[in-house]
Chains A and B, each alone.
Chain A
Amino acid sequence: MKTALVTGGSAGLGRAMVGRLLADGWRVVSVDRAEGAAMPFLERVTCDLADRSAVDALAARLAATGPFQLAVFNAGVSATGRFEAIPIEAYRRLMTANAETPMLLSAGLVRAGQMAGPMCFVSSLSHFTGYPGAAVYAASKDALAVYARSVRKPFARRGVSVTLACPGPLRTEHAARHAPPGADADRRMPPEVAARLILDATFAGRRLVVPGRTNRLAALAGRLLPGTMMRQMRRLILDRLEGEVW
């Protein structure tokens, strides 16, 4: 039986990916801060991925748990609002959970020879559009995206393909918490749809997946006209935020 590792598997996109993998006959190890319902063939590991010492312990444990035929580094948190109004401790946790932890877990698994299949890093559409009103979140997701691009060749030499996923807004509790008031949740992609598209791209070994046509257009616009897109994002998000959420 094939085993997959999914971080942040208790909610949102991660939960949708775990559900999909279980339905397809995988055994799944899900690592999350939050607990979740027990399911057959699902092993839940509780770990605060924003805590360096907890991550060190997890890395040692995973190196002895593999090999994994798939690893999806999906766990992430956000912090929205004016940059200066959010405490540094929140940014420290965000940067650790979103960027540092997936980098060092993936490097550790490859180094230990515990990867026997593809790997996926879940970044964000903000990598292409920019994200005023979430400057440190944007930084963490850009860092993760470029890490994924950078390790693609070196990891491929060890038989591990690397896919970068940049999903746009999803219909999750996480997105609802951080969206401006009045934002239309119906326009966000259901996490089950994003999960399927991202997993398919990962199994196909694709370099990049931006699920959804509208999101791909936004990514293209952000590449062609970064300054214009940034100002648009400011009007859409920063100017409408009513306070800080982290």
Chain B
Amino acid sequence: MGDMRQTPRQKRILITGATSGIGLALAFRHAPDAAVLAAGRRPAEEARDVLPHGVAYVQADQHEPEQAAAAVLTALDALGWDSLDLAILNAGTGHAVDPAAETPQMLRGVLDVNLFGAIVLSQTLRPRLEAGQGRLVLIGSTARKGAAGFASYAAAKAGLHGFGRALAEEWRGRIAVQVIHPGPTDTGMHARAGHDPGRVVRLFARTGTMARLIERAIARGRTVETLSFARFLGRGGSGR
């Protein structure tokens, strides 16, 4: 029957929102020993400048969830990935704004990127995750309980939480689903959102630290995990 020795297949990992912040840090952590497909909003030339070597990239702007999912699917086909071990849906965006001043366009963008994009991708990726006995990880936020200055962002992340825990129950035994809520992280998202956290930013977790905590939470496998301030102050500093 020929040579039975096979190198174990590399894990196949999809990461969205992978060209900055936590997503980029996750791409760097996984790139050395897994096959990574990174997805992001930026054009491919720009993305290649920031992504680690050897990582595949697909431009998939979650502001257009249906088109983004189609682009990801095309990229998976091009790579020949008929199965997937891990999908980390991490793309996110928000605005620091008085909720009364938030325009329909802003609201729709926040709901599409943070919530509906993840819903569409979850359905699109389901057959491949099932084929790989894979794992779906949704990146939420500790803001999910409510935030006056980020109302639509908090709402979208709350939606992701409710979606993730219902889906975890529905897919139990087929595909593991987790929703992980990082606390404040120095991703640059606050600055892009028009919010100056001031000196508090020194207390924010660095993206690399948060990526490590997320990896550990994935290994633990609990359906809902909150990576709060206390947790990374206690354990995130160095070592393990």
Contacts and interface: CB of A to CB of B under 8 A. Distances in A.
Whether A and B are associated in the same complex: the answer reads yes
Contacts of B145: 146, 149
Interface residues of B, number: 43
Contacts of B126: 84
B152 A139 contact: no
Interface string A128-159: 00111111101111111111011111110010
B116 interface: yes
A139 B159 contact: yes
Interface of B: 66, 98-102, 104, 107-108, 111, 115-116, 119-120, 122-123, 126, 144-148, 150-152, 154-163, 165-167, 169-171, 223-224
Contacts of A242: none
Interface string A234-245: 100010000000
B162 A107 contact: no
Contacts of B158: 142-143, 145-146
Contacts, number: 150
For the complex, would chain A's binding face be called helix, strand, loop or mixed by DSSP majority?
helix
Contacts of A107: 99-102, 107
A154 B146 contact: no
A55 B108 CA distance: 12
Contact of A99 (B101, B111, B224): B111
Given A52-B108, A83-B123, A147-B152, A140 B166 contact: no
A73 B117 CA distance: 24
A150 B150 contact: yes
A56 B166 CA distance: 31
A111 B103 CA distance: 9
A127 B163 CA distance: 11
B123 A88 contact: yes
B108 A142 contact: no
A77 B144 CA distance: 23
B155 A56 contact: no
Contact of A82 (B100, B165, B170): B170
Nearest to A140: B159
A22 B216 CA distance: 57
A141 B166 CA distance: 13
Nearest to B130: A84
DSSP class of B's interface residues: helix, strand, loop or mixed?
helix
A100 B160 CA distance: 14
Contacts of B150: 150
B100 A59 contact: no
A100 B152 CA distance: 9
Contacts of A205: none
Contact of B111 (A88, A95, A133, A238): A95
Given A150-B146, A151-B99, A231 B122 contact: no
A58 to B, nearest CB: 11
B121 to A, nearest CB: 10
A183 interface: no
Given A84-B123, A103-B155, A150 B162 contact: no
A83 B100 CA distance: 33
Nearest to A56: B104
Closest 5 CB pairs of A and B: A142-B162, A143-B159, A146-B158, A139-B163, A150-B151
